[in-house]
């Protein structure tokens, strides 16, 4: 049975749909109803979940991880995601994105180069990321360092993406490579994205 839990922390509602060992979907929102709706969209088709009031220890741990990522903390623990029904390309993109370290970003094209496929296809996977923000799609931007999309489009979604990156800046100055299945992913300091955003105002 997949169970859904939501919890309000510091004015934001965080949610997870899970069993006792796997995460099927995650969400965060400004209110409980939206968090539940976002979980419903994240959970794979054909699966139903039941909202629970009493939170399990596993769900509590995952929600703490989501909150930590939201706050810009460096979360080194790994979550186990349900990916059995994902197409191979989607799975590779999700796994590569999960490996982008805090303080860094990459581009849609960079992920495509590392795992195969095209930048637009990577963007489509990011738009449907069921594990946001644990799988940090907010760290994926356009090749010209503009933000791209987030949370279904521009406006408020991009403001949220920018706020994530501001919380994650660490003062790094050098690019680096991250090993992913199939290749190497080039990542660069989020400061480069923030500088671009500041110049665009």
**What is the chain's mean pLDDT, rounded?**
93
Give dist(CA 94, CA 42) in Å, integer.
13
- Please indicate, yes or no, whether residues 40 and 134 belong to a single structural domain of this protein: no
- In sequence order, the β-bridge partners of residue 3 are 18, 50
96 with 193, same domain: the answer is: yes
We report the CATH number of the domain holding residue 39 as: 3.30.160.70
Say yes or no: 153 and 115 in one domain.
yes
Same domain, 92 and 58: no
Secondary structure of 120-141 as H, E, C letters: HHHHHHHHCCCCCCCCCHHHEE
The predicted-structure confidence for 119-145, as pLDDT tens digits, reads as follows 999 999 999 999 999 999 999 999 999
- Domain-embedded: residue 81: no
Q: How far is CA 170 from the centre of its chain?
A: 19
Same domain, 95 and 191: yes
The tokens for 135 are 């799988």
One domain, residues 137 and 164: yes
pLDDT in tens, 57-75: 999 999 999 999 999 999 9
Q: Is residue 77 part of a domain?
A: no
Considering only the C-alpha atoms of the chain, give the largest distance between any 2 of them, rounded to a whole number of Å: 49
Q: Are residues 43 and 100 in the same domain?
A: no
Q: What would the pLDDT profile of 103-112 be if each residue is shown by its tens digit?
A: 999 999 999 9
Q: For residue 65, is it within any domain? A: yes
Structure token pair of residue 30: 């400004």
- Token digits for 53? 């009031």
Give the integer Cα–Cα distance in Å for 126 and 62.
20
Nearest of 137, 143, 128 to residue 161 by alpha carbon:
137
- Domain of 36, in residue numbers: 2-70
């Amino acid at each position: 049975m997949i169970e859904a839990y939501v919890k309000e922390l510091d004015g934001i509602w965080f949610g997870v749909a899970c069993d006792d060992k796997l995460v099927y979907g995650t969400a965060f929102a400004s209110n409980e109803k939206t968090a539940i709706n976002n979980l419903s969209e994240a959970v794979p088709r054909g699966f139903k979940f039941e909202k629970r009031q009493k939170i399990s220890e596993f769900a509590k741990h995952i929600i703490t991880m989501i909150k930590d990522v939201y706050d810009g903390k460096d979360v080194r623990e790994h979550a186990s995601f349900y990916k059995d029904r994902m197409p191979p390309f989607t799975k590779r993109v999700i796994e590569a994105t999960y490996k982008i370290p805090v303080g860094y970003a990459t581009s849609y094209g960079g992920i495509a180069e590392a795992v195969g496929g095209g930048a637009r296809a990577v963007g489509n996977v990011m738009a449907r990321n069921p594990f946001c923000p644990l799988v940090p799609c907010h760290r994926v931007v356009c090749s010209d360092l503009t933000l791209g999309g987030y949370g279904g489009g521009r406006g408020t979604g991009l403001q949220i993406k920018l706020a994530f990156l501001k919380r994650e800046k660490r003062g790094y100055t050098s690019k680096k490579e991250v090993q992913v299945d199939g290749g190497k992913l080039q990542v660069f300091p989020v400061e480069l994205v923030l500088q671009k955003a500041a110049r665009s105002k």
